[in-house]
Amino acid sequence: MERQPEPEYMDLEVEAAAYAAADFGEVNAAFVERLLEVAGTVARAVAIDLGTGPGDIPLRVAARRSGWRILAMDASWAMLRRAEQARNALAVGQGVRFVHADAKRLPVAAGCCDVVFSNSILHHITETAPFWSEVKRVARPGARVLLRDLARPADAAQARHIVETYAAGESTLLKEEYYRSLLSAYTFEEVRAQLDRAGLASLQVVRVTDRHLDVLGCVG
């Protein structure tokens, strides 16, 4: 099945509200556990979260790594408003700074980040070369990287099956967003080729579930 790109930004309030209201607690918790495994025991770090959405993941990370300074980026003002609301409600995340930014043009210095992470941004991006170029630019040598994203199913029927298996209880809007995201995702082979072209051959691509792949490792 050919990739069917979806809009790059989720900047409508109704989309942000549906995404923030969805139950991603188990999925996000699993991502944070994997991130901390990849990052190791480092107590102090500058980390960047690309496509933070409503901010649940960096807030979870901040609760586990109080010595990390986390720059949580998103190009959607609607998502960032939800993220700020989440921080205020939880009264945590003093080390998290939410920033309006496009992941293909990050407003940070080269080599400033010890940890680069992201959950579910890649399938939104059609021009992937600038994105991977920015990942490479902001990561210091030896920086730890974990990006998790959807992997494109073989066909539309399999995409629908995944939606009904894992999002049956969610709103109609969120289920349709999920379906479109699956069709917009990249395959294992496509992501591997993107990394090789970007000079990020040191990073691995690993299939971790029937619908997710991870990009992980150290920047050489």
User: Rounded to whole angstroms, how far apart are CA atoms 147 and 167?
Assistant: 22
Distances from the Cα of 69 to the Cα of 48, 49, 174, 181, 184, angstroms: 8, 11, 31, 30, 32
Which pLDDT score, from 0 to 100, does residue 12 have? 60
Q: What is the pLDDT of residues 138-164, one digit of tens each?
A: 999 999 999 999 999 999 999 999 999
For 22, 55, 95, 149, 160, the CA distances from 25, given in Å and listed in that order, are 9, 12, 21, 16, 22
Other C-beta atoms lying within 10 Å of the C-beta of residue 206: 12
Question: Under CATH, domain 13-218 is a member of which superfamily?
Answer: Vaccinia Virus protein VP39 (3.40.50.150)
For residues 52-79, average pLDDT: 94
pLDDT above 90 (res 11): no
Beta strand 96-100 with 113-119: parallel, antiparallel or unpaired? unpaired
Rounded to whole angstroms, the Cα distance separating 54 from 79 reads: 5
Specify the pLDDT at position 174.
85
25 pLDDT band, cuts 50/70/90, is: confident
Check residue 199 and report its DSSP letter: T
Q: Are 195 and 205 in contact (CB under 8 A)?
A: yes
Does residue 97 surpass a pLDDT of 90?
yes
Angstrom distances, CA of residue 76 to CA of 39, 95, 187 = 27, 21, 25
What whole-number distance in Å separates Cα of residue 1 and Cα of residue 101? 31
133: pLDDT strictly greater than 80: yes
